[in-house]
């Protein structure tokens, strides 16, 4: 089963997305980017979804940690945010894609499937 790591500080969102995506994938959620080292060491995701802002961290800081920790292979990363310029942010950060908040469950499921269902 494909694995997804989701980083977001909205506990309600994490609970909902884990329920929705957990029907088809193994989903691991964290709300504290400080845990990323430990999680990537043990979880080895096939896809990472990150919020643009998580507490005092921003996506650029989190991506730097992820790239340092997962240098052996390229993991697709989706930026998930309500920021008005998410398309530009996603391009600047060099992520694989983006989902604008709020988005419907069907859209999220379909978008994630584009990266994992092959």
Whether the bond between 107 and the residue before it is cis, its omega within 30 degrees of 0, is no
Binned at pLDDT 50, 70 and 90, residue 19 comes out as: very high
Domain that holds residue 41: 3-103
Instruction: Flag whether pLDDT at 50 surpasses 90.
Output: yes
Average pLDDT over the chain, rounded to an integer: 91
CATH number of the structural domain spanning residue 57: 3.40.50.2300
For the question of whether the overall pTM of this predicted structure is more than 0.85, the answer is yes
Q: Which tokens belong to 20?
A: 């929705």
Residue identified by tokens 């310029």 is 85
Classify residue 110: in a domain, yes or no. Answer: no
Cα separation of 83 and 105, whole Å? 19
């Amino acid at each position: 089963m494909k694995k997804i790591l989701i980083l977001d500080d909205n506990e309600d969102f994490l609970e909902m997305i884990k329920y929705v995506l957990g029907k088809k994938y193994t989903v691991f959620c964290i709300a504290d980017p400080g845990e990323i080292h430990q999680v990537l060491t043990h979880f080895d995701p096939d896809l990472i979804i990150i919020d643009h802002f998580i507490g005092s961290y921003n996506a650029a800081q989190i991506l730097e940690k992820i790239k340092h920790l997962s240098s052996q292979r390229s993991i697709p990363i989706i930026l998930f945010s309500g920021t008005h310029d998410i398309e530009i942010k996603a391009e600047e950060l060099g992520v694989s894609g983006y989902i604008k908040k709020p988005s419907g469950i069907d859209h999220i499921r379909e978008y994630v499937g584009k990266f994992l269902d092959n």
